[in-house]
Structure 1
Amino acid sequence: MTDFMGPPWQADWTEEAASNRAALPEEARVLVDAARAELVTAQDPYFRGIDADRDLPAAMSVEPVQSTRPSGEHVLYLDYGRGWLRYHFTPRTTDPQIVIDECFWQ
């Protein structure tokens, strides 16, 4: 049996999310990059359990898109909810990966 790899995780952006990130003003890109850094270094990218996201900076929080699918897509809110990254985690044994599907900031 192969041990499951841990952080830092591989992270990729969909084409749409990458172009949305590139279109943001510099101050928002800095916030998005900080949020991505939190994702790739998280022990558990699903942030499961009560207060599992307590180690995130005060301006960030995470929740599943659907409460009935705790291992599905999640949203990482940043800048006190002014923006978010919607992502999913693929926990493959040899190459676990986070895919950022949506990047938004207002």
Structure 2
Amino acid sequence: MSDGGFMGPPWQMDWALKAQAARDALPEHVRKIVDAARAELVTAKDPYIRGIEADAELPPTMRVEPARSTSPKGPRVLYFDTYRGWLRYIFMHRADDPQIVVEEIFWQ
């Protein structure tokens, strides 16, 4: 637990079944890239990665942005492998067990 009773990084991460199946179907070298992206996401101070230059801490091959600009606390898209792939996730901000849930993943 961090100050104030809220848990902080590293965040728990869960995968929707369809997203997990899509990840498992990727070539091994791509799964390693996805695992590196996952590691960056679960250790981020703010999993929404908000603000100006907030994703400056991410490697240059990754970027995060809202899935919809009208929903700043809604789903986010994490681009990885220099925009060859992306995963869409939501952050369930709960006091007892906050977690990131990956809803969809894609790589080309």
Find the residue that maps to 2:47 and give its secondary structure: coil
Find the residue that maps to 1:33 and give its secondary structure: helix
CA offset digits 1:37-61 (Å, max 9, x no partner): 1111000000110010000001000
Q: Of 25, 42, 45, which residue of structure 2 is paired with 1:43?
A: 45
- Map residues 1-106 of structure 1 onto 2, 5 A cutoff: 3-106=5-108
Find the residue that maps to 2:57 and give its secondary structure: coil
Q: Which runs of 4+ in 1 moved over 3 A?
A: none
Aligned length, in residue pairs: 105
Find the residue that maps to 2:54 and give its secondary structure: coil
Q: What RMSD, in angstroms, separates the aligned Cα atoms of the two structures?
A: 0.8
The one-letter code sitting in structure 2 at the alignment partner of 1:19 is A
Normalised TM-score (structure 1): 0.96
Normalised TM-score (structure 2): 0.94
Q: Is there any run of 5+ residues in structure 2 with no aligned partner, and where?
A: none
The one-letter code sitting in structure 2 at the alignment partner of 1:46 is Y
Shift, 1:3, TM fit: 2.4
Cα distance between partner residues in 1 of 2:87 and 2:41: 10
